[in-house]
Structure 1
Amino acid sequence: MADDQPSSQPSPFDLIIFGASGFTGKYVIRETLKFINPQNPSPSLSFAIAGRDHHKLSESLSWASQPNPPSPIPILTADTSDPDSLRHLCRQTRLLLNCVGPFRLHGEPVVRACVEVGCDYLDICGEPEFMERVEVQYHEQAVSQGSLVVSACGFDSVPAELGLMFNSRRWVPPMVVNSVEAYLCLESQKRIVGNFATYESAVLGIANAQVLRELRRSRPKRPRPQIPGPPPPKGPTVEHQKELGLWAVRLPSADSAVVRRTLTTLAENPCGLPGMNESPDQISKREAFWSTVKPAHFGVKIGTKSLLGTLRIITVGVFIGLLGSCSFGRWLLLKFPEVFSLGWFRKKGPTEEEVESATFKMWFVGQGFSDSSTTSLANKKRDYEIITRVMGPEIGYITTPIILVQCALIILSQRGNLPKGGVFPPGIVFGPTDLQERLQQNGISFDVISKRALAS
């Protein structure tokens, strides 16, 4: 249909935040106002906010503008159940930031509208089934329409992606990395309280686990990254990481799946994805960056400083795993989130004080070989370790908006250096950009903790 073709007319807005009346959305508005200020006499960028309810959007804008009066930001209405309203919304912007979750329930119509119209799309999704289904259904159309679709542009999964790359790039030849294990630790001076939508996504993920398995089985086989040396041995269910002072257990988050997608895309494109209008210098920079990033076996664990805290995490996981597979169990989980999450999630979300007091640390323990020429030797063990760390503020409402907004600013300012279109994970798109430097300037640090030879 001609109505679905990308418009040649300039969009009135550079950026629209969709779902801006939600708990996360209002923090995204607040973060955006730090960089796009409509009261600036010469603003270089413009943005609007959008959602179903004009009144709630207005309240979010007032909250985000404090202590100043509400900023003169246009408020638009659209609904995920109304495709025409979504297409109309997408025609008004170069880039849409989607904060409406769970994405399994509400995300696909928004992606479809962006792809049909030809605008770019970012979201804060942490749901592998949604992200991989969107890739299957919309990648080819997004390429042809010039729509760049990138999910997981929040705490899920940029710290994991950039953290792995940061660790990988520390392995200078002849050293070579074999595995990187990430250990996530959440801390707070008050209480750690998560958003109900995150909890709901986890519950629905259990309910749809078979759907994801079938989706993956139905896809053509893609090249696997070539990782030197054998896979690391499986450790205990509960690990005592003495080096970090943590008790840890495997975390079934989106991070591992997203990292695998980036490494698979890199295996298919060893020099990265070409930008639609790159200069020769930028091409050289991109190729040089990816030449220093080597694939590794990757996993994520969540850790606490006490064994009791890790047992609490396991208990919550058991509740969700057992009850999430049947409809009545899901009803119980979603009706009483504070009970079954042992206080970690509640429908009204955290208070501002709880948000401000929380922080995260994510260690990346890389192990490999001091000499790559020895990796093929029988019984050769990994003999070197590099530990790096990514650290920052509360993950859901401070770190996630910081990441999302910086990704958006890169797209708006460096679009010619990025792929013309397609559905991709964030690492393969933003890895060679200045995203890490931008995050460091906004309170998210990347540090080398230690380098050491391992006992044979």
Structure 2
Amino acid sequence: MTTSPRSAALPDSSPDVDLDLVLFGATGFVGRLVAEHLVEQEAHTSPPLRIGLAGRSRRRLEQIRAALPERASGWELVVADSGDAASLAALAGRARVVVSTVGPYLRHGIPLVEACVAAGTDYVDLTGEVLFVRQLVDRFHEAARGSGARIVVSGGFDSVPSDLAVHLLHRQVQQDGAGGLTDTTLRVGRVRGGVSGGTVDSLRQQLDQVRADPSLRRVLSDPEALSGGIPGAPGQRDVWTPFVEQGTGGWVAPFVMATYNTRVVRRSNALRDRAYGRGFRYREVVPTGRGVRGRVRATAVTAALGGLVAAMSTPGLRSLVDRLLPTPGTGPSRERRAAGFFEVRTVTLAEDGSRYAAVVAAQGDPGYAATSVMLGQAGLALACDGGRLCADGGILTPAVAMGDVLVERLRAQGFTLTVGRVDGGGSAGGDAGAQGA
């Protein structure tokens, strides 16, 4: 993948394109947060961006626009429905970039992506759904390469911190001449935030798909499910049970988002022709401490995750669990969003034996406040920095599509993104043989 100016014709070469960025799903909870972020950022763009708000109801779009600062009063309102192919084609034909918050994407997202691919329009979303992205890879990757459409998946907490952390490690190890990356582990540090109703609904949709077609379990369990058929390093496995890391001596449990994030990171590596290293293996874990207490906590975390999936997969228990979980379109108060935060630390062992660490952190509820900034900045990168981004169309990841540019933009928003060599020996990623232990 290249990062020179795009060889394909830019979408705005058509006289029908009159909007730089359209936010689809502006009337939803996260959509409103992204709209608020965009209107703050528009004051700093020159020339001013032509922004549109899109959704099913013009009345609700008018209400959202009226609640934004005065400078949004001229934003275009675009009525479009995820079930109306003609309206989506019209939307994609008018926009240089579409930012979508309309999920679950497996249910609502494919027609919009298809329209953007056909129009050569750049796109970014918030999906955390393996089955959705797998369909995009299988059906649209080559077509998007042909049209020049950069279809960027997972521009929020799924999976920007994971993807950019490994991107930073790769860049630093290359710069230092330390070879490629080998065992690499993201460790979840401090996190405070609510559970997204949209994320829960996405899990429901995937479980429903698997129940209807049990063969899809093989896709969900494949560590390289999103890599486009390009094989990864031998021994690449997911973490399903607690274990003691050899490098740290502490217990760890599976991270709830790992079964998606890891596949996005591996897709980044595949799109870059395995540039991270032929021995690159990646996992994500939650440290729970040492000794008996660490083991008990790790076991409890793992049991809770397994119990949630089992309950949501069981018709008799599903309705009970649904009453306890947040519903789509809802979210925490402004005060609670502001009080949230996250920090993840990703460590790797380079081929020359040296160790490196990258930290990604931000203030704000990761699933709402921080995600709205990440998605907004990803959309702005596509709209404003096109010549500095990946030149190729396709089904892309944040690291491949906009890597260093998105790092710069998030740092300017107060995010912490650091990388460097760390002292000490041993395996930065722990014992590779214990990945699935």
Name which of 26, 41, 46 aligns with 1:35. Answer: 41
- Secondary structure, counterpart of 1:95 in structure 2: strand
The one-character-per-residue Cα deviations of 1:353-405 (angstroms, maximum 9, x if unpaired) are 11110000011121345x3xxxxxxxxxxx54333211112212222222222
Q: Which residue of 1 aligns with 2:142?
A: 140
Q: What is the alpha-carbon distance in structure 2 between the residues aligned to residue 361 and residue 140 of structure 1?
A: 36
1:109 alignment partner AA: P
- Secondary structure, counterpart of 2:273 in structure 1: helix
**Contact 1:262–1:427, Cα closer than 8 Å, also in 2:** yes
Q: What is the alpha-carbon distance in structure 1 between the residues aligned to residue 24 and residue 228 of structure 2?
A: 35
Q: Is the aligned partner of 1:196 residue 2:197? A: yes
1:256 alignment partner AA: T
Q: Is the aligned partner of 1:451 residue 2:422? A: yes
Scaled by the length of structure 2, the TM-score of the pair is 0.80
Q: Which residue of 2 aligns with 1:355?
A: 337
Q: 1:81 to 1:150 in 2, by over 3 A?
A: same
Q: What is the alpha-carbon distance in structure 1 between the residues aligned to residue 248 and residue 420 of structure 2?
A: 11
**Contact 1:240–1:248, Cα closer than 8 Å, also in 2:** no
Q: Which residue of 2 aligns with 1:299?
A: 283
Number of corresponding residues: 401
Shift of 1:185: 3.4
Shift of 1:330: 3.5
Q: What is the alpha-carbon distance in structure 2 between the residues aligned to residue 233 and residue 414 of structure 1?
A: 35
- Secondary structure, counterpart of 1:164 in structure 2: helix
Q: 1:241 to 1:13 in 2, by over 3 A?
A: farther
1:237 alignment partner AA: P
- Secondary structure, counterpart of 2:231 in structure 1: coil
Q: Which residue of 2 aligns with 1:23?
A: 29
Shift of 1:241: 9.8
Q: Which residue of 2 aligns with 1:49?
A: 53
1:332 alignment partner AA: L
Q: Is the aligned partner of 1:156 residue 2:128? A: no
Q: 1:245 to 1:439 in 2, by over 3 A?
A: farther
Q: 1:97 to 1:249 in 2, by over 3 A?
A: same
**Contact 2:131–2:219, Cα closer than 8 Å, also in 1:** no
Q: 1:71 to 1:310 in 2, by over 3 A?
A: farther
Q: What is the alpha-carbon distance in structure 1 between the residues aligned to residue 425 and residue 58 of structure 2?
A: 59
Shift of 1:233: 11
1:211 alignment partner AA: L
Q: What is the alpha-carbon distance in structure 1 between the residues aligned to residue 226 and residue 72 of structure 2?
A: 48
Q: 1:402 to 1:89 in 2, by over 3 A?
A: same
**Contact 1:185–1:302, Cα closer than 8 Å, also in 2:** yes
Shift of 1:102: 0.7
Q: Which residue of 1 aligns with 2:93?
A: 91
Q: Is the aligned partner of 1:337 residue 2:360? A: no
The one-character-per-residue Cα deviations of 1:290-338 (angstroms, maximum 9, x if unpaired) are xxx5462111123567857656643441232212334444433334316
- After TM superposition, the structure 1 = structure 2 runs for residues 388-407 of structure 1, keeping only pairs within 5 Å, are 388-393=358-363, 394-407=365-378
Q: Is the aligned partner of 1:442 residue 2:413? A: yes
The one-character-per-residue Cα deviations of 1:419-455 (angstroms, maximum 9, x if unpaired) are 3422222222222x42211111112112247612325
Deviates more, 1:350-359 or 1:395-404: 395-404
Name which of 318, 322, 328 aligns with 2:310. Answer: 322
Shift of 1:256: 0.3
2:31 alignment partner AA: G
- Secondary structure, counterpart of 1:21 in structure 2: coil
Q: What is the alpha-carbon distance in structure 2 between the residues aligned to residue 32 and residue 194 of structure 1?
A: 24
Name which of 72, 75, 78 aligns with 1:73. Answer: 75
Q: Which residue of 2 aligns with 1:414?
A: 385
Q: What is the alpha-carbon distance in structure 2 between the residues aligned to residue 312 and residue 24 of structure 1?
A: 31
Shift of 1:410: 2.2
Shift of 1:18: 0.2
**Contact 1:28–1:401, Cα closer than 8 Å, also in 2:** yes
Q: Is the aligned partner of 1:121 residue 2:123? A: yes
Unpaired runs of 5+ residues, structure 2, are 1-10, 428-437
Shift of 1:71: 3.3
- Secondary structure, counterpart of 2:15 in structure 1: coil
Q: Is the aligned partner of 1:179 residue 2:151? A: no
Q: What is the alpha-carbon distance in structure 2 between the residues aligned to residue 84 and residue 234 of structure 1?
A: 43
- Secondary structure, counterpart of 1:97 in structure 2: strand
Shift of 1:225: 4.8
**Contact 1:360–1:395, Cα closer than 8 Å, also in 2:** yes
Q: What is the alpha-carbon distance in structure 2 between the residues aligned to residue 15 and residue 151 of structure 1?
A: 16
Q: 1:36 to 1:335 in 2, by over 3 A?
A: same
**Contact 1:207–1:326, Cα closer than 8 Å, also in 2:** no
Deviates more, 1:209-218 or 1:397-406: 209-218
Unpaired runs of 5+ residues, structure 1, are 271-292, 339-344, 372-382
Q: What is the alpha-carbon distance in structure 2 between the residues aligned to residue 48 and residue 400 of structure 1?
A: 20
Shift of 1:26: 0.6
1:36 alignment partner AA: E
Shift of 1:114: 1.4
Q: Which residue of 1 aligns with 2:242?
A: 237
Q: What is the alpha-carbon distance in structure 2 between the residues aligned to residue 106 and residue 200 of structure 1?
A: 12
Q: What is the alpha-carbon distance in structure 2 between the residues aligned to residue 152 and residue 15 of structure 1?
A: 18
Q: 1:266 to 1:219 in 2, by over 3 A?
A: closer
Shift of 1:138: 1.2
**Contact 1:31–1:405, Cα closer than 8 Å, also in 2:** yes
Shift of 1:259: 0.8
